[in-house]
Structure 1
Amino acid sequence: MKANSARRRPVQPAAAHRGTEKTNSNTENPGTEARPSASSSVIPGNVWKCIWHLKTPPKDEFVEHMLLLCPWVEPIWFGGPLNYRVNRANISNFPAWVLSFIGSDLGSKDEIARILMNVAFTCWFIWKTRCSFVYDNRGIYPNQVIMSISNSVNGFLEASVASEGHPQRNLSRPGPPACWGPPGHPFLKVNVDASWEASSKSGFAGVVIRYHAGKFVAARRGMVGATNVAAAEAAAILLGCELAKALALECIIVESDSKENILCLAQGCSRGSWEAFPVISKALRLGGLFQDCRWSWVPRSANLAAHVLASRSIPEMCDVNWVNFPPSSLVHVLNKDGLPCPH
């Protein structure tokens, strides 16, 4: 589904829960005068009649449809942190859907908590985006929503770790705050990173591509000339897109730990470093040639393979492609991710 196609789909507001008028009659003592309960008041029927005849958008959308089944939200669930593919046949109601995670065998309690945290953030941003569309006449751009979710989740985790003065419950898996995760089928992940030296105005870019099953596909290391760090990171992103195109890949997720550049790509180059702008523009145009190209920010701990390949200290040669078999410097990192690595 194209990101801009969602804005043409009319979105209906959430269903208001139709209230039931309470009579509060005393059946045990018919002669006793009926009085309103202290905890709730009686809402006259004419009030409900007035509400339901207001000239507002239709009040008939269910929570399940609004958050899970509406066509424009499906790419957000799939392209977001969980890479979740909505299965319409398995969704009866929203509470049961949430409970299915709690009672699942997807992992430890910490992993289930991490999943539910991402579910909560995703639902919030879907609701927020929908309200902006209905009431503020703003367009819907799934890539921007996915970026907002990713930024909020990672920002929350970083704040939780950095907070002092009272204990915080760790919602991430034990160890580093985040680690590399395979994309959902049919996507491949293109992880990119760059190193940069101010004195020489140059550095190295590293690209690592892996299948949805986690298997290594290809890697590339190249030298880049750049005026600042953002420009070097942008060159790495462009190099990753070029390698993916040379391999005739169709659906890719480009991951970088450069938040500035990824935000610029997600918002169509509307902001960011002017030094990086020309390269980011090229990457954006090249991304449009794929069947589906998505931009994703990740912390460095989830981008270690590309980070190692971009390091100035490793002995690997520049401008070399490794296909099917990774360079020796990456074997340890790829194995550390717990994923298949031919060597």
Structure 2
Amino acid sequence: MGESLFRRKCCREPVCKICCKADETIEHCLLLCDWAKKLWFGSSIGIMINERNICRFDNWLWMMLGEGRKGNDFQKALLASICWSIWKGRCNVIYQDMVLEPKKILRNATNLVNEFWVAKGWIKERVLPSFNREGSVWKTPNHGCTKVNIDGSFLSKTGKAGIGIIFRNNNGDLLKFVAEQAKSTSAFMSEALAPRKALDLIKLSGNGTYLIESDCEALVKTTTYVSFGFISRSCNKAADWLAVSGSKGVCLEGCSAQPPPSLAKLLLEDKVRCATTCNVGPCQIRTGIG
């Protein structure tokens, strides 16, 4: 580590040789360096590194491994493999003058665990890293277009329903959001009420280019009169949160300056993951309704 070598007067400066922004400590190398943070967030584990919560690497690792408790062994092995692959990637860049390729590093880390698990017979199929997994991220619309994500929620036990609608621009910035209760007798009916409300809001918003997206495949297939796209549920968490809130009687309506903390967190995750995992393919089709 540059910081340790500097204290021993074995190098001229302790700064990280990749980002040149901070001292090269073990915490910085494996967790806090800009490309390492993006790699952790883009992995199938989906860890968002918060600098304020990291004091020592060993404490962070112990916390991530569940403080000794039993958990998902594959994810624990993948966590260790990512740590090793980040370190190896740094060494290749610094000492071998190789190009830094986060996607390749993540793929190699996942392959290491996959191959071992398959060889042991513990899993039968390979688990793809999130950077290569289609449908893992919400995507921003084209320039000048507004994306409208919608969702419907139906609580079969209570018969209550709600819809959620969220408008975002080509930068991923929030423009408008709505959550309201709806009268419905089925999950599909709840999903179908969402685009009707969205079209009413679009009409009030005036001229422009809009793309409506839903995670209900059956609804998308039956709609041909408007630009309508399908996305997986994992990409539609913000609209789903609004729809569930509406079904519980929590009616919300606001603009970019007013998102509730839980919604703001989902919006930030969408925006960061979209920027981190660019060039990801189109979303996968999810069967079923809801």
Bin the TM-score by the shorter chain.
Answer: 0.3 to 0.5
Q: When the two structures are superposed, what TM-score results if normalisation uses the length of structure 1? A: 0.41
Larger radius of gyration: 1
